[in-house]
Amino acid sequence: MVGIIGFGKMGEAIARGLIEKGVDIITYDVASERRIEADSLGVRVASSNLEVVERSDVIFIAVKPQVFTDVAGPLKGKVASGKIVVSIMAGVKSARVKELLDIQRVVRVMPNTPALVGEGVMAVCWCGDFSDSEKKLVGDMLSTLGVVVEVQERYMDAVTALSGSGPAYVFLFLEALTDAGVKVGLPRDVALKLAFQTIKGSVRLFELNGGIPRVFIDMVTSPGGTTVEALHVLERAGFKGIVMDAVEAAKRRSEELGG
């Protein structure tokens, strides 16, 4: 049995992925509407987080980092040694999870929202002693949500800032590209369709061919053409520097949440 403590968007994504694999799931969320949603998906709804812990072999902690201390209180010392705890809380270090739950090991995972459609990226850190079979068990579960990448814990704040927060940056760029299309005279629905397919197609082109982004930039950029004019404006405005600063700011916030 797999337990999910907290049935927000990521908790639901985990449940949906595992349901397709025929895994039995039990969950609890303080919000009644989220419990109703879980029930509608065929997920067993517990009466408390403690019941989830007691009935599960693998336990996903999917609550907001700010409430983890309150959630962990009634669960401290209640997690049997053979159970696997998987934390998907941004910024919360393994030492903190171990301390508040009184456990010796935890799997720390940083997912992102494309996991909702099975296209996420799951950065995984094994914080403690896990057997190969346990790693395969958890890895197989996470792979239902997208790509699994193993990292050391010291990189988790950076991962949170890049891929965890990354979908927001992408959607902001999609919105900006659409607005730009409207500014140069396109109807909004046409601009959105063009912007979306441009991003989607570009990502697919890179996925199929690999390499480095600069190669694909050069494919579009003709000497003295329209693209180089646009790139000049972006470079002069510090586009890449702004993106780098944004990711650094997100990393700092992740560190603050963990502190």
- Residuewise pLDDT in 10s, the chain (259 residues): 999 999 999 999 999 989 988 899 999 999 999 999 999 999 999 999 999 999 999 999 999 989 999 999 999 999 998 999 999 998 899 999 999 999 999 999 999 999 989 999 999 999 999 999 999 999 999 999 999 999 999 999 999 999 999 999 999 999 999 999 999 999 999 999 999 999 999 999 999 998 999 999 999 999 999 999 999 999 999 999 999 999 999 999 988 877 6
Mind spelling out the 3-state secondary structure of 26-95?
Answer: EEECCCHHHHHHHHHCCCEECCCHHHHHHHCCEEEECCCHHHHHHHHHHHCCCCCCCCEEEECCCCCCHH
Clarify whether residues 7 and 112 are in a common domain: yes
Q: Are residues 11 and 135 in the same domain?
A: yes
Q: Residue 161 falls within a domain, yes or no?
A: no
pLDDT attached to residue 257:
78
Q: 170 in a domain, yes or no? A: yes
Shared-domain flag, residues 31 and 98: yes
Same domain, 150 and 30: yes
Nearest to 3 by CA among 27, 32, 35: 27
What's 213's domain CATH number?
1.10.3730.10
Other residues' Cβ atoms within 10 Å of the Cβ of residue 114: 18
Which of 122, 156, 190 is the last residue before a domain boundary? Answer: 156
Count of domains observed in the chain: 2
Asked if 98 and 178 sit in the same domain, the reply is no
**Shared-domain flag, residues 137 and 89:** yes
Are residues 151 and 183 both part of a single domain? Answer: no
Please choose, from the candidates 152, 163, 158, 156, the residue with its C-alpha nearest in 3D space to the C-alpha of residue 127: 152
Pairwise CA distance, residues 53 & 112, whole Å: 24
Q: What is the CA radius of gyration of the chain?
A: 21
Task: List the one residue out of 198, 181, 167 whose CA is nearest residue 189.
Answer: 181
End residue of a domain, out of 91, 121, 156: 156
**pLDDT value of residue 20:** 85
Element (H, E) at 4: strand 2-5
Q: In 3D, which of 62, 66, 8 has the Cα closest to residue 35?
A: 8
Q: Are residues 149 and 170 in the same domain?
A: no
The answer to whether position 217 is within a domain reads yes
The CATH number that applies at residue 93 is 3.40.50.720
The answer to whether the CB of 51 falls within 8 A of the CB of 72 is: no
Strands annotated E in 115-232: 120-127, 146-150
Clarify whether residues 19 and 103 are in a common domain.
yes
93 lies in some domain = yes
Q: Same structural domain for residues 89 and 137?
A: yes
Q: What is the pTM of this model?
A: 0.89
Does 143 lie in the same domain as 25? yes
Does residue 55 lie within any of the structural domains?
yes
Strand, helix or coil for residue 221: coil
Q: Is residue 42 part of a domain?
A: yes
Instruction: Give yes or no: residues 10 and 78 share one domain.
Output: yes
Question: Domain limits at 30?
Answer: 2-156
* Domain stops at, among 156, 182, 208: 156
213 HSE (CA, 13 A, CB side): 3
